[in-house]
Amino acid sequence: MITVLLVDDQALVRTGFRMILDAQPDITVVGEAAEGEEAVRLSRELRPMVVLMDVHMPGVDGVAATERIVGELPETRVLGLSTFDLDEFVVAMLRAGASGFLPKDISPEELVAGVRTVHRGEAAVAPRLLTRLIGTFVRAAPPRPVATAPRLDGLTDREREVLVLIARGRSNAEIAADLGLSPSTVKNHVTSLFGKIGARDRAQAVIAAYESGLVTPRS
């Protein structure tokens, strides 16, 4: 059973999400919070497997709450929620450790799929949507100082190739076809490069590729 904590400052939104998720045989909502501080406290008490976290809330926002939850409870996955698809705060959520994000106007089926996806340890963001999001953000944001940019020195040439293709929105199967490798070999490369750059999932790997300069929005 996948346990879920709902975090949103709108009671109506929480009620709607609860009805959708509790109707699933493998998902149960164990708690609700209206703001970030309460979300952190309930996460400690309830130890949910997945936290559905609104980005924009009064007081402690979703970004700060996500960073604290992921830092204290590394086994808990956070799935960000945003009213807007292209929103710089979503990128901040991914940097804070969220495993992805969903717009609030998604279908019930997409919500359920997103919860199951992050529970499996994957990013609940469509690769091409993620690439567009990061590309838009990078165009608008000033470059990060070189000293704080992700270091890719430890990657092999093949791992760099794989990271570039991840940042371009390719799935593992597509990467395998592009490079003439087996899917299992690609999976091993992905696991290895994630460990070397400190990425929890594809979302953070794409950010690292952009911020390191390996990939640019126009490349």
- pLDDT tens for 66-98 read 999 999 998 999 999 877 655 567 777 888 888
Mean pLDDT of 45-55: 95
Taking the whole predicted model, whether its pTM rises above 0.75 is answered as no
Do 66 and 93 meet the contact criterion of CB atoms below 8 Å apart?
Answer: yes
Residue 129 pLDDT exceeds 70: no
Measured between alpha carbons, how far is 108 from 209 in angstroms, rounded to an integer? Answer: 32
pLDDT for residue 219: 43
Q: What single DSSP character describes residue 144?
A: P
User: So what's the pLDDT on residue 147?
Assistant: 46
57-61: average pLDDT: 87
pLDDT band of 101, cuts 50, 70, 90: confident
* pLDDT surpassing 70 at residue 132: no
Q: Mind listing the pLDDT tens digit for each residue in 156-186?
A: 999 999 999 988 878 888 899 999 999 999 9
Averaged over 145-149, what is the pLDDT? 47
Amino acid at 60: V
Task: State the greatest distance between any 2 C-alpha atoms of the chain, in Å, as a whole number.
Answer: 50
Q: What is the pLDDT of residue 47?
A: 97
Looking at residue 146, its pLDDT comes to 46
Query: pLDDT value at position 2?
Result: 97
Task: Provide the CB-side half-sphere exposure for 140 (13 A, CA).
Answer: 11
What is the pLDDT, as a whole number, of residue 107?
86
The closest of 23, 21, 19, 57 to 40, measured between CA atoms, is 57
Please give the share of the chain, as a percent, with pLDDT higher than 70: 84
Domains of the chain are 2-125 (3.40.50.2300), 135-211 (1.10.10.10)
